[in-house]
Structure 1
Amino acid sequence: MMIGPSKALFMDEISTGLDSSTTFQVLSCLQQLAQVSQYTVLVSLLQPARETYQLFDDIVLMAEGKIVYHGPRSCILNFFELCGFKCPRRKGAADFLQEVLSKKDQEQFWGLGDETYNFVTVDQFCERFKTCYVGQNLAMELLEPKAKEHSSALSFSIYSLSKWKLLKVCFARELLLMKRNAFIYKSKSLQVGLVALLTGTVFLRTHLSKDTTHANSYMSSLFFALIFLIVNGLPEMAMTINRLPVFYKQRDCCFYPAWAYAIPAFFTKIPVSLVESVTWTCITYYLIGYTPQASRFFRHLLVLFLMHSTSLSLFRCVVSYCQTAPVSSVGSTLSFIFFLLCGGFVIPPTSIPNWLKWVFWISPMSYGEICLTGNEFLAPRWEKITVSSVTLGRSILMDRGLDFPSIFYWISVGALIVFILLLNIGFAIGLTTIRRTSQALVSRDKLTKLQGADLANFEDMMNKSSMSPRATLYIPNTIGKVIPFKPLAISFRDVNYYVDTPMAMREKGYAEGKLQLLHNITGSFQPGVLSVLMGVTGAGKTTLLDVLAGRKTGGVIEGDIRIGGYPKVQETFARISGYCEQIDVHSPQVTVWESVVYSAWLRLPTEIDPEMRHDFVKEVLETIELDEVRDTLVGLPGANGLSTEQRKRLTIAVELVSNPSIIFLDEPTSGLDARAAAIVMRAVKNVADTGRTVACTVHQPSIEIFEAFDQLMLMKQGGKLIYSGPLGQNSCEVIQYFQAILGVPLIKDDYNPSTWMLEVTSRSMETYLGVDFAQIYSESSLYKDNDVMVKRLSIPSPETSDLHFLTQFPQKFLEQFKACLWKQCLSHWRSPSYNLVRILIVALSSLIFGVLYWQQGNIDHINNREGLFTILGSMYCTFLYTGIKNSQSVMPFVSVERSVMYRERFAGMYSPWAYSIAQLAMEIPYVAIQVLLLLFIAYPMIGYAWTTIKLLWFFYTMFCTLLYFVYLGMVVVSLTPNNQVATILSSMCFITQNLMAGFIVPGPKIPKWWIWLYRIIPTSWTLNVFFTTQFLYDDDKNIMVSGEIIPMMSFAKNYFGYSRDLLPLAAVMLAIFPVFFGIIFAYSISKLNFQRR
């Protein structure tokens, strides 16, 4: 953000994740920009250290949405002294300013001992500020008229570069991203090649003749080519969605206009469309046996290229308006179904109701179908004259309603180009006009006040929710006891950790095959001792915690780790430990209270009754100060729900309710302001005081937070330990240790010891002093004392025994299932973008199907082969594309929940099978609702028989079908590492199910080498049961086929392979597929882990 002509910089919480030394360096740079280059810099910080705070010239102090103080930093403490509050000597001014406004912390700073303290509200502070000289000077400055002539008062250009240069830069970035995503594009090209081989061998030319009978196969193969290249554009949707947040940020900061992003997005995908359409055409054209003329080959290729470009443009356009994955999935599915139904193959133009004929001309599929069929069937080899005195090719086209003059090929090509242009213009307009909504979170108490509740009631509510600064995690007095736990120490000796050397380092000359991240780390964490892991960014703090907690999924770990003197067993350790990750991962659609109750339900022992568990959860929420937002949905980070600091506190609460003996906290104060950090650390200190073993990593603690710890482990870059020992009173032990090293500068008065410690042990200081702090530590008496301690803790006490649990999980399987089902039920119910939208989409698609196929399913209206094909097409579309929509919708939902499941599984909360079965079971009622909508909307409109047996068969068939499609989507997510790969794999599955469903290629027409695939594809059994139960119970029904009257039952058996004899087997197979996919999903969830740590 600093690169460019902007002279005003607004920076929000830029220190999150940085150590205090790095933060100081960054802010020093900003200070120079402000003072030397005359920048205007406004920075919000959460926990600024004293020396960082002193870099600022002005301070803006806010509370409850009001400015309490705005003026020189040097005057702010004087202002509060005038108000009666004084900052203690060793307390950071920034921390004091945060806490003095809080009702729970204000009294400790009262400086007028001879006067009675009364709480000073934010409004009272604001009024006093207006009357002080700083506030009056500010008011006078604001009264001065603004300068109307100034060199920086007016900008004549929104963007820094010319339009041409903006375009060049965006093109370069797009090409770079394509290079970085080469795996996805290579996978798609490989997929095209594989499906092309499958299609070519299914429609192999040796099986096809140039006659009316085999013309349907040629027509089907052309239709399938269009379908495949459209579906193959689906990954573009996932990639565009993932890039939207970055685009919105850069667009709003005037990096570039939307059109500069949209144009490269289109043009850089042209080679992709070309490669995939060339691959498809080169493989299938001569395998299937289309007209062997060069001109027709290239015309065929041109149409497929344009259709693929149209597909990519369509999905990009949909994303620009829908924004999120679930809604984009709905939009793309609706568009696709509309284009497909009106494309001229599933419903011939002659079968579309007269008042809807116009829809045929607004579908890109129609123009693709006109081009491909005309290019093939108007070729010389199809010019055999039929009995009706027209050529065979034109007769075939007339039967399909696609008989257009040759010139329509180029008209259709022009129409496809227009579609591409319109969709990309729509994409640019969507990117320009659509903006993401933001959400501000207001607690219930604050909302009560804002809505006009009187102040007395409000303060009474606040008093009830307030807590003592020394709040503890004890069970309330009504129970009268603490939930028991066993104090345990963790000791570790010579811990090393290796990973494969990254390719970038190898390219720079690093010869070793393994990169060592931890070097012979020896130490211990003891019960009742609050330990802190510190070091500069990249020192290996989180890596060490992950290794000790058993959270690493890769690499090589060496060393001895013991719990209570016994070798660590990961399954047991997970039961008695808690781990608060740096990244807060929670289910977005449950509330704070429900998240904590869920964790307590699954992690507390079975002997804890529900009432005790409820009280324990309540006490934890009060301790972490989440009781005011207990009914707030967690939401997605950066989008809605909880703020960053509330999310962090929820992470801690979720672990605390497990009543662990050992707790690891990775950056528990990251993203929190000074007061919130103090609250969290106060709660953590209380936990340690109960006799638990607590270890934290922190980056930039204040003096107060740093000195709340009892023991320090300090690491330097490279994963080496340079100090492990007590802090001492006012950090005296640490200070004395480092000041004893020759050349280390002395700490200044009232300087933050943690900041000083990081500065004097930095790599640059090591180089300057010519020392190695790790070697100095290894030769010190402190190291020897720690070594003795580790030896002592590595030997179990005689009166103790190794920790052992009779069961792997705290709760029985049924209880695990009930808890998981409870949370899944809440998540589904509160996910309208998933469930409500897919239900609405079924209702809308049912209406579309019903209107386009109005009464064509009435058996009395089916008199010829074309009518039979049309109604079979309605069945095919109804279950296939409704099923695909369900499969696409469930994938992002399962993906989000899978991230939460990884954390919960590591914590040993439940068996993956209990989680999987609950997630599978939760889909059943929503699928049943969709089937009922199809039954009551599409079924009567299409004209299917309204008899009890056929209604029941329809419900059974559609229920099993939609259920196995949902489970298929879940399986795809469980087998793939991310949404992009899942989208590619799912599109492959959809294409195969489409091709082998029995509509595009009837079963008896499939070559014998692919018949096995037809037998195992679920959609083939669905169409079999659907058609058989609707139309093959009427033995007297005849239809006209090629001028002959034959029984429908006989034609269905010979042409499609359907008969009543196969119905029992087909019905059983329909029930087997959901069960099969459900087992695969559960097994994959239990065995596969794509999280890399």
Structure 2
Amino acid sequence: MEDTQVDASARSLDVEKDAGADYAHLTNTSIQSFSWENVTVTVKDRQTKQPKDILSGITGNVKAGEMLALMGPSGSGKTTLLNVLAHRDVRGTVSSSLHLNDTKTSLRSFRKLSAYVEQEDALVGSLTVRETLYFAAQLSLPSSVSKAERIARIESLVSAFGLQGQRDMLIGTPIRKGVSGGQKRRVSVAASLITSPSILFLDEPTSGLDSAASFEVINFVKEIAKKYKILVIASIHQPSTTTFELFDKLLLLSLGKIAYNGPVSGVREYFADIGFDMPLFMNPAEFVIQLVNTDFSRDQNESTQRLHTIQDAYEKSAASRASKASSTHDTAKPTAISTDTAVQVGANPLLIPLTLIHRSFIKSHRDFIAYGIRILMYVALAIMMGTVWLRLSTHQSHINAFTNAIFFGGAFMSFMAVAYIPSFLEDLSLYHKERQNGLYGPLAFQLSNFLIGIPYLFLITLLYSLVAYWLVNFNPTARGFWTWVLWLFLDLLAAESLVVLLSALIPIFVVALAAVAFANGLWMSVNGFMVPPGTLNVFWRYVFHYIDYQAYVFRGMMVNEFGGRRYECGRGEDGGCECMYASRLQGECLIEGRAVLETYGYDTGSMGKYVGYMLVIILGYRVLGWAVLRLKK
């Protein structure tokens, strides 16, 4: 945490005193305009199977320091348009012409100059406000940006967004109260501004906020936009009057077409001119949304005709001609985009996994839900197991109990890895947001996720084993204990890797939970305990048994217990020796543990080979998890 303790350095730099100036000189001011022409998105209609335009011929522009509101009823295409303008993947076929300063844009250059704030605040709740900005800087700024400059940016943004009093407060977790909803949204915006972008995209920035908090957030954004000439484009749903009036321009959509595109101040006059007078004291945002919404109209024909009238009126209006004229580009003499002062987005890819591990470490030891509850759960499970199979003796009557305990210890421990699903899905949500912003890819995410889990899973293994192993009275040697720890540790690594794979494939909690539970049920059934491998149905044996990590764990633990231990036979009524398993020690009224292994077809050699199989399975799960994330956009 040395790097995150920025107080002392900040004081020495005295950055807070000149926060505004610091942010101003860091902001790229070379982008004067952003425009788009004839944005059209076509998808296949689910019912008719015919091509359908969800956006049709959308043209518009925004200039430095302006805020544009994208509005429209649900299904109007505003989020799709926002994603197209932000160079994000959208469903369907996209046709568009996007320009910065009359120069066509590319994905590579655009990401250096823009930032995108998701509708949902994908923040780590166990980080403080300042730590959130610190890690945003670490993941997005190149190593050429000095530590002093990073600190300056963090302090500038904290000051600019009015978060001085909350800088050391947690964002907030389900069991620990943090900053308010409006403050959380400000943190999201501030984190996106850490790279000093010229264009800021906001997807429903007021979603889930009351009118006061909504005004607070948009007002802060407006101040930053005006002061530092940032272009802001925000999709927003029915803001209050005061919030709506903070925007400079409105682009109103309905059924994929423009109903109005012009200054917010001219909304009332424009609609009055085309025959739709706005009532006095009515929220203009509410008025225009109701005007172009056809979903809840009692007379669909009337509402559809009204919408066509509005759209046709806009096509013929002076506002439409002005918009198209301002979006017409002189390709012979484009205005150059200077990126000399722009921040080159992208940290050193070799250091990104370390940054992610650092952030995950802070989360894991602060967030009790992430690992604390799991540790308590496993310790309670160890106490339960140890007291149920308490102090088993080496009499042959306890051999089956030993076998049952071995199966339970390995299989149920791996089954309980389902408790990791909520924490992983939270990390996955943050990963999707940061990947969309081009910060890092699935390899860095998978690598850091695996490495941060190793010490915690080993701690869980050790605590569980210290309690359960000696209470049950498994092979009472140091070698036996550490061999058990090894197999249980590999078991948990494989189980958690399976959770990562299935949760990445199906990132819905209930479905992921069911999938992981089913997979573990399958592995329990074919791991060799229920039915010995030699008598297992050939389909289940050759298709699933040999790729079942629980099978190798069960084998390894069985060999650890029975490979070098002896058990006393029982005595008959005549005092003679009666042994459950025949072995070479039967004459001494003893059972050699290897006789138990022979009933399962296990030998005591090649344990190194089976450890190798476990490592291959763990690696396989992680590679498949990486492939799933790589293929998913």
TM-score, length-normalised on structure 1? 0.50
Q: Take 1:873 and 1:759, find their aligned partners in 2: how far apart are those partners?
A: 67
Which position in structure 2 is the counterpart of 1:828? 364
CA displacement, residues 969-1011 of structure 1 (integer Å, 9 cap, x when unaligned): 1211111141222123212211121112221111222244433
Counterparts of 1:1053 and 1:958 in 2: how far apart (Å)? 19
Q: Distance in 1 between matches of 2:333 and 2:57?
A: 23
Pairing 1:740–2:273 present: yes
Q: 1:816 aligns with which of 345, 352, 373?
A: 352
Structure 2 CA distance for partners of 1:542 and 1:637, relative to 1, 3 Å: farther
Q: Which residue of 2 aligns with 1:547?
A: 84
Q: 1:839 aligns with which of 371, 375, 380?
A: 375
CA distance in 2, matches of 1:703, 1:547: 28
Distance 1:1005 1:754, change over 3 A: closer
- Give the alignment partner of residue 923 of structure 1, picking from 449, 453, 471: 453
Residue 962 of structure 1 and its aligned partner are, at CA, apart by 1.5
**Shift in alpha-carbon separation, 1:718–1:918, aligned structure 2, 3 A:** same
Please state how far the C-alpha of 1:721 moved relative to its aligned partner.
0.9
- Matching residue's letter, 1:497: V
Contact kept? 2:249, 2:263, Cα under 8 Å = yes
Residue 478 of structure 2 aligns with an amino acid whose one-letter code is T
Q: Bigger shift: 936-945 or 545-554? A: 545-554
Deviations 1:263-283 (A, max 9, x none): xxxxxxxxxxxxxxxxxxxxx
8 Å CA contact 1:589–1:635 kept in 2: the answer is yes
1:992 matched to 2:522: yes
Q: Please give the per-residue CA displacement for 1:815-863, whole angstroms capped at 9, x wherever unaligned.
A: 211221122112211232342222122222222222222332x6xx143
User: Could you give the per-residue CA deviations for residues 516-544 of structure 1, whole angstroms, max 9, x where no partner exists?
Assistant: 32221111223233222233454332232
* Contact in 1 for aligned 2:103/2:334 (Cα 8 Å): no
Is contact 1:498-1:556 (8 Å) kept?
yes
For residue 1010 of structure 1, give the secondary structure of its aligned residue in structure 2. helix
Letter in 1 for 2:463: L
Matching residue of 1:665: 202
Q: Deviations over 1:1008-1044 (max 9, x none)?
A: 4433232221111112222223331359998965575
Three-state SS of the structure 2 residue aligned to 1:573 is helix
Distance in 2 of aligned mates of 1:586 and 1:796: 43
Within the alignment, does 1:778 sit opposite 2:315 as a pair? yes
Q: 1:872/1:795 Cα in 2 relative to 1: closer, same or farther (>3 Å)?
A: farther
| Counterpart pick for 2:31 among 481, 487, 497 | 487
Is the 1:957–1:1070 Cα contact (8 Å) retained in structure 2?
Answer: no
**Cross-structure match for 1:594:** 131
The correspondence of residues 392-471 of structure 1 with structure 2, limited to 5 A, is none
Distance 1:789 1:1085 in 2: 41
Matches within 5 A, 1:95-244: none
C-alpha displacement of 1:552: 4.4
Query: Counterpart in 1 of 2:499?
Result: 969
- Find the counterpart in structure 2 of residue 475 from structure 1: 22
Amino acid paired to 1:785: A
Q: 1:485 to 1:926 in 2, by over 3 A?
A: farther
Report how far residue 663 of structure 1 moved: 0.6
Which residue is equivalent to 2:573?
none
**Which residue of structure 2 lines up, in the alignment, with residue 1017 of structure 1?**
548
SS in 2 for 1:607: coil
> Of 954, 974, 977, which residue of structure 1 is paired with 2:484?
954
Unaligned runs of 5+ in 2: 1-15, 571-577, 586-591
Q: How does 1:669-680 map to 2 (within 5 A)?
A: 669-673=206-210, 675-680=212-217
For residues 553 and 862 of structure 1, do their structure 2 counterparts lie closer, same or farther at Cα, with a shift above 3 Å needed?
Answer: farther
The answer to whether the Cα contact below 8 Å between 2:103 and 2:331 also exists between their aligned partners in 1 is yes
Q: Is 2:631 the partner of 1:1087?
A: yes
Identify which of 595, 612, 615 aligns with 1:1051: 595
Q: Offset of 1:805 from its aligned partner?
A: 11
**Superposition deviation, residue 698 in structure 1:** 3.4
Q: SS where residue 259 of structure 2 aligns?
A: strand
Alpha-carbon offset, residue 924 of structure 1: 1.1
Whether 2:518 is the aligned partner of 1:981: answer no
1:878 aligns with 2:409: yes
Whose Rg is larger? 1
- Is the 8 Å Cα contact of residues 1052 and 1059 (structure 1) preserved in structure 2? no
CA distance in 2, matches of 1:1044, 1:551: 69
Report the equivalent of 1:165.
none
**Equivalent-residue separation in structure 2 for 1:767 and 1:931 (angstroms):** 65
Change (3 A) 1:881 1:760: closer
Q: For 2:340 and 2:43, how far apart are their aligned partners in 1?
A: 31
Match of 1:516 among 46, 53, 74: 53
Secondary structure of 2:351's match?
A: helix
**Separation (CA, whole Å) in 2 of partners of 1:472 and 1:702:** 31
Instruction: Quote the residue 2:4 is aligned against.
Output: none
Q: TM-score when scaled to structure 2?
A: 0.84
- Within 1, Cα distance between the matches of 2:362 and 2:28? 31
Give the conservation status (yes or no) of the 8 Å contact 1:637–1:644: no
Cα 1:520–1:958 change in 2 (3 A) is same
Distance 2:451 2:65 in 1: 44
Aligned residues of 1:883 and 1:961 also touching (Cα < 8 A): yes
Residues of 1 paired with 2:450 and 2:527: CA distance? 25
Instruction: Tell me what 2:255 maps to.
Output: 718
1:545 Cα deviation (Å)?
0.8
Distance in 1, Cα, partners of 2:307 & 2:399: 88
What's the C-alpha RMSD, in Å, of the aligned pairs? 3.5
- Residue 898 (1) aligns with residue 428 (2): yes
Which residue does the alignment assign to 1:397?
A: none
Cα gap change, 1:805 to 1:1062, in 2 (>3 Å) = farther
Which residue does the alignment assign to 2:8?
Answer: none
Looking at structure 1, the residues matched to 568 and 540 of structure 2 have their Cα atoms a distance apart, in angstroms, of: 32
User: Which structure 1 segments of 5+ residues have no match?
Assistant: 1-466
Return the offset for 1:929. 1.2
Change (3 A) 1:525 1:483: closer
- One-letter identity of the residue aligned with 2:233: A
- 2:5 is matched with which residue? none
The answer to whether the Cα contact below 8 Å between 1:523 and 1:790 also exists between their aligned partners in 2 is yes
Letter in 1 for 2:557: F
Hey, what's the Cα distance between the residues in 2 that align with 1:778 and 1:833?
55
- Structure 2 counterpart of 1:896, one-letter code: E
Partner residue in 1 for 2:574: none
SS of the residue 1:723 aligns to:
strand
Measure how far apart 1:799 and its partner are: 4.3
SS of alignment partner, residue 944 of structure 1:
coil
> How many pairs does the alignment contain?
597
Helix, strand or coil: the match of 1:811? Answer: coil
1:409 corresponds to: none
Q: Cα–Cα, structure 1 residues 869 and 575, in superposed 2: closer, same or farther, change >3 Å? A: farther
Shift of 1:484: 4.3
Which residue number in structure 1 is paired with residue 72 of structure 2?
535
**Does the CA contact (< 8 Å) of 2:415 and 2:495 recur in 1?**
yes
- Separation of aligned partners in 2, 1:512 and 1:934: 57
Alignment of 1:605-620 (within 5 A): 605-620=142-157
User: In the superposition, relative to structure 1, how do residues 1061 and 760 fare at CA in structure 2: closer, same or farther (>3 Å)?
Assistant: closer
Instruction: Mark the CA change 1:1043 to 1:1077 in structure 2 (over 3 Å): closer, same or farther.
Output: closer
Aligned to 1:143: none
Secondary structure, counterpart of 2:369 in structure 1: coil
* Letter of the structure 2 residue corresponding to residue 1024 of structure 1: R
Secondary structure in 1 aligned to 2:54?
Answer: strand
Tell whether the 8 Å contact from 1:564 to 1:794 is kept in structure 2 after alignment. Answer: no
Instruction: Say if 2:238 and 2:289, in contact at 8 Å, map to a contact too.
Output: no
Residues 473, 542 of structure 1: CA spacing in aligned structure 2 closer, same or farther, 3 A cutoff?
Answer: farther
Deviation readout 1:894-923 (Å, 9 max, x if unpaired): 112212221111111222211221111111
What code does the residue aligned with 1:909 have?
L
User: Residue in 2 aligned with 1:933?
Assistant: 463
After TM superposition, give the deviation of residue 1072 of structure 1 in Å. Answer: 2.9
C-alpha distance in structure 1 between counterparts of 2:205 and 2:509, whole Å: 29
